[in-house]
Amino acid sequence: MKSSFFKNLGPIKFTTIKDHLECKPISIDEGDSFNEFTSIKNLKGRGLSFLTDTHFLKENILSDGAIICSKSIYKNIKKTNPLIIVNDVHSAVAKLSNIFYRSLTNSEIENLEEPKIDNNCNISQSSTIENGAIIGKNVNIGPGCYIGYNCIIGDNSSIDCNTAITNSVIAENVHIGRNSSIGQQGFGFAISKNENIKIFHTGRVILQTGVNIGSNCTIDRGSFGDTIIGQNTYFDNLCHVAHNVIIGNNCIFAAMTGIAGSTNIANDVMTGGQVGIAGHLNIGSNVQIAAQSGVLKDIDNNSSVMGHPAIDKMKYIRKYKKNYA
């Protein structure tokens, strides 16, 4: 995925990669180089990707690009891609994300085109609009806001005071409440004995038409893909959406809902207040999750759950009556 928000430093030679990783190459020559470092879904050409778990072997590997993996995963790979075998894939991903990518420098941002602001906009003089940004028609931006370089704000959208938006594409008719932060670095890092290594996130936040974000909300950009909020989805105040989360249309999330990274949520999902949803889950369509529930596993379509861990609502009620009635 090409991004206008980050600088791709590729091609990176394998000799450089070898300087940072203890690794064993398979079908890779010393002189080989790689154009980008990305997810398996986006791997193409002379790209480099990674597999952290056998779960991801379900993905169709359509490219001949190289893959970083552990010895155990290597034994399960059927496709004959070039491989780089390492002991700790998470640590390798963190290190390589910072070798391949960086944010734009101040001088690079200054060299971008001045922001394009369409007709009938109401933008506070105390707000900052960086170069490269595109602001649509009839947009309202309150005091103290920050719109980062190359961000897009669609027609008829409104952003309340003291909100920061970076690395984001926002459609028309979107509302974002005050003191919110959209598009910042996600909470992704590799844990090792000697240090924690931050993974440089190169994705975006995409807010589709009619999204409504409350006050004091945070939505992290994707790591190697995008964080996406579907049409007409509403967030109450004090909600958090982590990196790579994909949410469908017409969902409603009450205050203090937290959604961990890489979870997929389908259409027409509703949560009560203080719901926590673990990472890498699939939540089906037309699901209702009661307040203060902790979701630790996938939920099927048309389900209603509650409790911690969240289970079928009626089962929970029967269990509660049996134990406490």
**Active-site annotation, residues:** 243
Amino acid identity, position 222: G
Cα 53 from Cα 122, distance rounded (Å): 48
- CA distances (Å), origin 63, targets 39, 70, 79, 81, 159: 11, 19, 10, 8, 41
d(CA 288, CA 277): 13
Question: For residues 296 and 310, what is the distance between their CA atoms, to the nearest angstrom?
Answer: 7
Cβ contacts of 193 within 8 Å, gap of 6 or more: none
Residue whose tokens read 């109450």: 236
What separation in angstroms does the CA of 2 have from each of 21, 43, 60, 241, 286? 25, 12, 21, 23, 34
Rg, Å, the chain Cα set: 22
